[in-house]
Amino acid sequence: MSAAPIRLVPLPGMPLIGPGDDLCGALAEAAQRAGLELSDGVLVVCQKVVSKQEGRTVRLSGVRPSPRAERIAAAWDKDPRHVEVVLGESARIVREGHGVLICETRHGFVCANAGVDLSNAPDDDTAVLLPSDPDASARRLREELAARGAGPLAVIISDTFGRPWREGLVDQAIGCAGLAPLRDLRGARDLRDRELLVTVNATADQLAAAAGLLMGKDAGIPAVWIEGVAPEGDGSIRETLRDPSLDLFR
């Protein structure tokens, strides 16, 4: 990874995206208005706009809560329909307490409410789900942008997650294409010429977090272009998921 300066440029002015809309075209036009050439860099796109384009939304008025959802909702003063959607998106409930459901999604992510979000939804009756396959979403956007003349570039789909033992939210990668999500430095030498034995940097997460500085909930910025980082390798975000047999906290 280059030590050259890194530049982050927001892509403002994009229209509201709905199911089946041309998200790739909207991103390309926003980049053009910003004077950007989408080449030799990384495009970070927020999960919410991808999910909306892919139709990954649920009308709460059509949800019938299960007894389990009713119980959890009553215990924590939640909407049982929302809880039912969360349960449907979860492979398992990791923890339940303090009004929070920490879930493992079918993708393998561990996060609050299985990523089911009510903020910035199209209306008060709609919940937005995570993309079914965020890696595939990133690949599709990358391929569509390349077909329009962009590239080489990498695409990251990001979402805002909480963190164990720390307050505050941080954007992290939930899907990627065109770059290796991890940078393995084991075997390299530090400044004192000591061999690095365990250092593996979460490159995709680092880039998503940097882009998140410009993509606030109220900013209306669904994408950020990062220059100064030449995409290296390729891979799946699943590479960042720790093997349960090596996880000390399960």
Q: Where are the domains of the chain?
A: 7-56+131-242, 57-128
Sequence-ordered strand ranges (E) for 106-145: 110-112, 126-128
Of the options 3.10.350.10, 3.90.1150.10, 1.20.120.1780, 3.30.1330.100, the CATH number for the domain spanning 7-56+131-242: 3.30.1330.100
pLDDT over 60 (residue 1): no
Q: How far apart are CA 183 and CA 196, in angstroms?
A: 13
Res 143: pLDDT: 96
Res 98: pLDDT: 86
Instruction: Report whether 27 contacts 50 (CB < 8 A).
Output: no
Cβ atoms within 10 A of the Cβ of 209, count? 17
Q: How far apart are CA 195 and CA 188, in angstroms?
A: 6
Topology alike, domains 7-56+131-242 and 57-128? no
> What does CATH list as the number for 57-128?
3.90.1660.10
Res 138: pLDDT: 98
CA 218 and chain centroid, separation:
17
Beta strands at 41-46 and 153-163: parallel, antiparallel or unpaired: parallel
Provide the whole-model pTM: 0.93
Q: Residue 193 corresponds to which tokens in the numbers above?
A: 């010429």
The per-residue pLDDT for range 159-192, each reduced to its tens digit, is 999 988 899 999 999 999 999 999 877 778 888 8
